Structure 1
């Protein structure tokens, strides 16, 4: 009989447990639900939500009751030490992510699902990798699109050559804050660039010199534009046009995801070299959060890799840091990996 994995949730706020309430009656709710960590864990047949944790004890108890967990804690360390957890799901703000991930890994958990943004500082990524990699922790990052079928099917079209040689990825994601919003955009830029390492990044953010305290940016700045040159030759652009649509262009065609994941359009070159609409595969609409949880189960079962592993999570998070550092340097190219590992985006409330 397949193993059911014991899961503990750290953080009983919006992404941890309640965001489903915001979207369930809205348009296109099927894109998201189950959306929160708790809802996705409960929906995953091979997971059992056995405990939840939040420093606000009343909130933890309320979420324990809502999702049928056995116990509620105020201290995540106590929860991990007592509950013999297989998987920890982290849904706090990014400030404590590194210490939570490291503690869980050192305690012997098999899997971690961690909400974005990954962390507030470059050196925190390094510490998380050092804790998780040698222990074989199966890690998925909370950038849900990369787990959903529509985006994975789009990636499969790219990989089998439907577009020819990919030249550019354009993320039409609007002007939004770096850590809170554009961690999603950065991960899709990476994903559609076939998860390649990056050579350098450039960008413009809405931050002033007075917002810096040494290497710490004290605000989460809005990104106006960004550019990444990947080592596999793909150019990727983050632009101010809204819509959460991603366009991938190659030598033989162009693919664009539509309306934040409700479908896609595909155009391919005809015999005259003109781009013409062609039929694209059916768009499957599903919860990325649930698929991310299921992927952790699969990886633990098979002792395989996850689709949003920690190396990729660090790679996409570092794009955000690099764009911010480029702005600080007057728009200069910033080589990756970053030389300055002390750089942080860390408002007081993050």
Structure 2
């Protein structure tokens, strides 16, 4: 049963930067409406079953600004917040290196729902620990890869299953020449979602020369991706390259379906009759409805109210996406050779560092 407004779920935000508390002006100006509300705190306030009870950040200025803006208590130490407030739902928008510790501490303090920014972690060892934590069937989790929750991408996946399309053969995600840990958790999760979250057989990845330093099984830096190829068990392929535009293209035997410009519109190309050229164009504009991080929090509320199947599917997608992200690093270390994501080096680390900052 969904919680009523008077029974709102105590929620806290850990990390008060541009994803935790302050949506950037560029996103407000250029992003489609489906991306708003984007920041965690704004999304908590927009979800009627949630109550924002506190915020946390190690940096004094963003912490003070968030506490003043949202009229809630401020904490510089997440452990103190968790001990004092005992939130049932926690959103985590810290940098990646500390994220696994924040997750573990939140669960130990009684949190049963987590919305997590990406990437999930930096190493295979951390991923193994998180897989054990996520095994709790009562824990609900969602991820900052928000396209998975947006209606227009659900529409594209549904269309790709229809008979006229001729079967899905390839999914291509275009996010530009971008770093692995900062940008491509989005690409990988979207590709998995549109592929129906089917199993990946192998991953081949290449990074731009000079974008990282290797120290044994440790990749220091946030690698700039030149190409990634995912091969699925049934012959479907997934491609991430350097093309920009924030588009995704689903290719079938009889046409293509593209979600363009980060969800602004959906374009279908097919042919008429026996014409081999896909000159018939159908266009669907997005309906303009807001969603953003609120959509992810809606799923957490559903999970807390008993949607066990959704809980399991969401956690599986988060962990699989992180495993594939790390598999890209292992492939790079192997000279771009195809690697089995189920067989990762337990010592593999990707720091995600850009200068003094981390993804």
- In which range does the TM-score fall when normalised by the shorter chain? over 0.9
Task: Identify which range, 31-40 or 112-121, moves more after superposition.
Answer: 31-40
Partner of 2:323: 318
Post-superposition shift, 1:257? 0.9
Q: CA deviation at 1:299?
A: 1.6
SS in 2 for 1:233: coil
Report the equivalent of 2:111.
109
One of 324, 327, 332 as aligned partner of 2:337: 332
Structure 1 residue 52 corresponds to structure 2 residue 55: yes
Q: Is the 8 A contact 2:247 2:262 kept in 1?
A: yes
Determine if contact 1:49/1:68 at 8 Å carries over to the other structure: no
Residue in 2 that maps onto 1:296: 300
5+ residue gaps, structure 1, are none
Residue equivalent to 1:176: 178
Take 1:106 and 1:95, find their aligned partners in 2: how far apart are those partners? 19
Q: 2:45 aligns with which of 30, 42, 48?
A: 42
Distance in 2 between residues matched to 1:63 and 1:33, nearest whole Å: 18
CA drift of 1:5 comes to: 1.2
1:207: how far off? 4.7
TM-score (norm 2): 0.90
Q: Judging changes above 3 Å, is the alpha-carbon distance between structure 1 residues 212 and 30 closer, same or farther for their aligned structure 2 residues?
A: same
> In 2, Cα distance between the equivalents of 1:308 and 1:167?
23
Shift of 1:306: 4.0
Structure 2 equivalent of residue 158 of structure 1: 160
Q: Aligned residue for 2:84?
A: 82
In 2, Cα distance between equivalents of 1:266 and 1:173: 20
What CA distance in whole angstroms lies between the structure 1 residues aligned with 2:294 and 2:313?
13
Note the C-alpha offset of 1:208: 4.8
2:180 is the counterpart of 1:148: no
Gaps of 5+ in 2: none
Q: 1:209 to 1:84 in 2, by over 3 A?
A: closer
SS at 2:203 equivalent: strand
Partner of 1:349: 357
1:205-227 deviations in whole A, cap 9, x for unaligned? 02559711221111101001110
The Cα RMSD (Å) is: 2.1
1:122 positional shift:
1.8
Alignment pair present for 1:230 and 2:232: yes
Q: CA deviation at 1:146?
A: 0.8
1:81, distance to aligned residue in structure 2 (A)? 2.0
Alignment check: 8 A CA contact 1:139 1:308 kept: no
Matches within 5 A, 1:269-288: 269-272=271-274, 274=276, 275-277=278-280, 279=282, 282-285=285-288, 286-288=290-292
CA distance 1:226–1:110, shift in 2 (3 Å): same
Question: Structure 1-normalised TM-score?
Answer: 0.92
- In 2, Cα distance between the equivalents of 1:62 and 1:208? 38
Q: Between Structure 1 and Structure 2, how many residues are aligned?
A: 348
Q: What is the CA distance between 1:181 and its match in structure 2? A: 1.0
Q: In the alignment, is the contact (CA less than 8 A) between 1:172 and 1:246 conserved in 2? A: yes
Contact 1:116 1:143 in 2 (8 A): yes
